[in-house]
Chains A and B, each alone.
Chain A
C-alpha cells in the first residue's frame, strides 16, 4: 500500500484555496496592525484621519471574511474526509472519520444547549458568548474523545508494538496487516513502534480522569479549611495561612521530585497524605448536611448516614485500597500523582476561598443570619459559600487547566505514572530525545495539551464575562 497523503484526493482542489485564504488573512492582519501603529504613533497627518479609518474598516472586513474562509475550508476538509470513499481519504479525512462519534455528540450537545439556552441558567448564557462557546467546544471535544476512546483508537495504545513501524512518518501503512487490523499508523509510530494517534486519544482519557477529579479534591480541601479560616480568623487562620504559604514557597518541581521518588513511595509518605486529603470531602459533606438539617434529626440522619456510608466506602477503596466489596481501587502510580497534584493545588484554593470569605462576611445577609442565631457552620456553608460560587466556578475551570499542565510536568520528568502510560506528558518525555529528527511522537501530545488548556481558559473567560453580567 502507498503511504497516505495528508489531504487525500480532495487535496489538489482545496489546498490552493486554503493557501490563498491564509495568505489573505495574514496580509490583512498585518495591514490592520500597521494602521493601528500608524494612528497611535501620529504618523497620519491631520485630515488624513477619515481616509485612515476607511482603510482600517476595509482591512477589518477583509480580515473577517478571510478568517471565515479559512474556518469554512477546515470544516470542508473534515466533512469531505468523512463522506469521501475510503480510497480517496487522506490522513485528515481518516482521522475525522475516526472521530465521528465525537462530532455527533458535539453537534447534539450544541443543538440541545442552544435550543434550550434560556432555561439553563449560567450554562445557557454561555451560548451567548462566542469565546465561551469556542472554549466549551474544545473542552467537550476532548471530553467526548476520552469517553469514546475505545471506539476511536485504531490500535491498542500500550500493547500494540508492530515491527517495522518504529519512528515512521504519519500515514505509513502497516507491512502486513492481519485480518481486522487497521492498515495505517495515522500519525506515525513512536520510538517503541506504537501508534501515536491511538496514544493521543487514550491519553485524553488518563488526563481527563485525573485532572478534574484532582481539582475537585483540591477545592474540597481548600473550602473546608479556607471558609473557617476567613470567617473565624484568629490563631486558626494565622496557623493555616502560614502552612499554606509554606507549601506555596516550595518550587513545584522540587516538591514533585521529593514526593514522587520510588524511595519516598516505599516509605508510604504519599499514602499517608492520601489518607488525610481524601478524608476532606467526607468531612465537608457531613458538616454541610449537619449544619443545614440539625433541627430535623430524621432528614439529617439520612443524609449524614448515606454520606458516611458511600463516602467511607470510596475512602476505604481509594486511600487504603481496602474496599470490602473489591470494586473501588486506584493504581499505585495514579494515586501518587493524584495526591501530589491535590497537595500542590489546595493552598492556592485555600487562599482564594479565604479572601472571598473575608469579603463576603461583612455583608448584610451574614449579619442577618447571625442575628437569627444561626450556627457558625451554617453561615459559612449555606450563606457565604453559595455567594462565592461565581468566582469559584471560574477558578475551577482555570485550575483544571493548570492541573493538566502540572500532570504534563510530572510526565515530562518521568515521575509517577508508569513509563508506558499513554498520558500526554509521558509521551512528550519519551519523544523529546529525538525531537529534531522524528517530531511527531512528542508534537501530537503537545498540541493536545495546548488545545485542552486553551479550551479551559477560554471557557473560564466566557464564564467570567457571563457571570459578571448578572
Chain B
C-alpha cells in the first residue's frame, strides 16, 4: 500500500505542475496581459501605458521565469522607478524597514494577490472555500442518503413497479443539469407567477447566515443532478447482490425479507457506490459554479468566474490548484477505500 500511495502522490504532483503551467501559459498570453492592464488602469489607456505598467509589475519577463517566481524557486522581480519607489511581485510584502523578501511564491506559502478583489489570494480563497464547503456539505447531506435509499429500494426487487418508478426518477434527475433544475425550482417555489414564494430565489443573504429559506433551493439544485447517478449505481450493485448465492441461502433458511436486505445485502451492495460518491466531488465543482452564478452566492465558483473574466492570474492559479487537488485526492481516496472495503481487491 505504501509504495502505491507514494507513486500516486508523485503522479499527482506532476499533474498539478503540468496543469498550473497550462493555466499560467493561457492566462499570460499577450492579449490577456493587455486585458489585465486595462482592468487595472481603465480601458482607455494607451499601448505605451500598458507596456510600462506590465514592465513595472514584472509581467514583461519571460513566461517560464515568471512561472518560477510564482512557484517560489526564482527570486521575485522588483522594479525600481527613478524616484526610488519599488514595485513588483513581492513589493506588497515589504516589511516596516522597507526590505522586500527575495522569494515570494507558493513554496514560501504566498499565493499572490488578487488583482480583481484586491486582497491576498490566500485570504480570498479561504473565505470562498468556507462558503462553498457549506453548500457542498448540505448538498452531500441531502444527496447521498436520498440516492442510497432510492438505489437500495429500487434494486432489492428488480423489475417491480417501485423499481421502474424510482429508476425513471433517477434517469430524469441525471437529465436535468443544474441550470435547468435551478430555473424550474425558482419558477415553482420563488416566482410571483406561481405565487408559492416558499423560498428566496437568491442566496445572497446566505453569506450573513444560512436559513432554510435562502439555502434550500441552491442545495437541492446541486444535489439533484448527482443524485440520479449514485442511485443508479447503487441500484445496479444492489440488484447484483440480491442474485448472489448467499442471499438465496438466507431466503431458503427462512430469514425475513427485511433482515435479508438490512443485514445480508446492504453492506456488500454499498461498496461500489462508495467509489462513485467520492468521484462525485469533482463533478459537484462544476455544479457549484453554475448554482453560485444562478443564485448569486459568492463562493469558490464565483471566484473562478470572476477570476477568469478579469484574467486575475494568481487567483486563477490558486483556483486550479484547489480544483486539481480535489479531483486527485478524491480519486486516491476512492481507490484506497475500495481496496479497504473489498477484501477481494489488492492494491499493488
Contacts and interface: CB of A to CB of B under 8 A. Distances in A.
A442 B179 CA distance: 10
Interface residues of A, number: 53
B323 A41 contact: no
B35 A263 contact: yes
A71 interface: no
Given A32-B161, A246-B19, A261-B308, A449 B193 contact: no
Contacts of B120: none
B136 interface: no
Contacts of B29: 263-264, 267, 269
A254 B256 contact: no
A115 interface: no
A254 to B, nearest CB: 6
Contacts of B261: 40
B193 A439 contact: yes
A253 B15 contact: no
A51 interface: no
A207 to B, nearest CB: 13
Nearest to A252: B286
B309 A267 contact: no
Size range of the chain B interface in the assembly: 35 or more
B290 interface: yes
Contacts of A32: 161-162
B15 A245 contact: yes
Interface stretch (A293-301, A384-392, A407-415): A407-415
Interface in B310-333: 311, 316, 319-320, 323-324, 327-328
Given A32-B161, A263-B35, A435-B191, A454 B175 contact: yes
B197 to A, nearest CB: 9
Contacts of A259: 26
B88 interface: no
Contact of B187 (A405, A408, A439): A439
B188 to A, nearest CB: 9
Contacts of B106: none
A36 B162 contact: yes
Interface in B292-348: 293-294, 301, 304-305, 308-309, 311, 316, 319-320, 323-324, 327-328
A63 interface: yes
Contact of B311 (A42, A263, A267, A457): A263
A442 B183 contact: yes
Nearest to B16: A249
Interface string A254-265: 100111010110
B76 interface: no
Contacts of B257: 40
Contact of A409 (B179, B184, B256, B258): B179
A408 B177 contact: yes
A32 B165 CA distance: 11
Given A249-B328, A269-B26, A446-B179, A254 B191 contact: no
A461 B228 CA distance: 14
Given A250-B19, A251-B286, A454-B175, A266 B258 contact: no
Contact of A249 (B26, B305, B324): B324
Interface string B168-181: 00011011110110
B75 interface: no
B179 A412 contact: yes
Nearest to B201: A436
A165 B144 CA distance: 45
A450 interface: yes
Given A42-B256, A413-B305, A449 B289 contact: no
A408 B305 CA distance: 16
B285 interface: yes
A259 B308 CA distance: 10
A226 interface: no
A401 B177 CA distance: 10
Contacts of B27: 258
A411 to B, nearest CB: 9
A428 interface: yes
A457 B175 contact: yes
Interface in B193-219: 193, 201
A464 to B, nearest CB: 11
Given A261-B32, A263-B29, A454-B175, 14 more contacts: A40-B153, A249-B15, A251-B285, A251-B320, A253-B286, A253-B290, A254-B308, A257-B309, A263-B311, A264-B26, A264-B31, A413-B293, A439-B183, A443-B183
Interface of B: 11, 14-15, 18-19, 23, 26-27, 29-32, 34-35, 153, 161-162, 165, 171-172, 174-177, 179-180, 183-184, 186-187, 190-193, 201, 256-258, 261, 282, 285-286, 289-290, 293-294, 301, 304-305, 308-309, 311, 316, 319-320, 323-324, 327-328
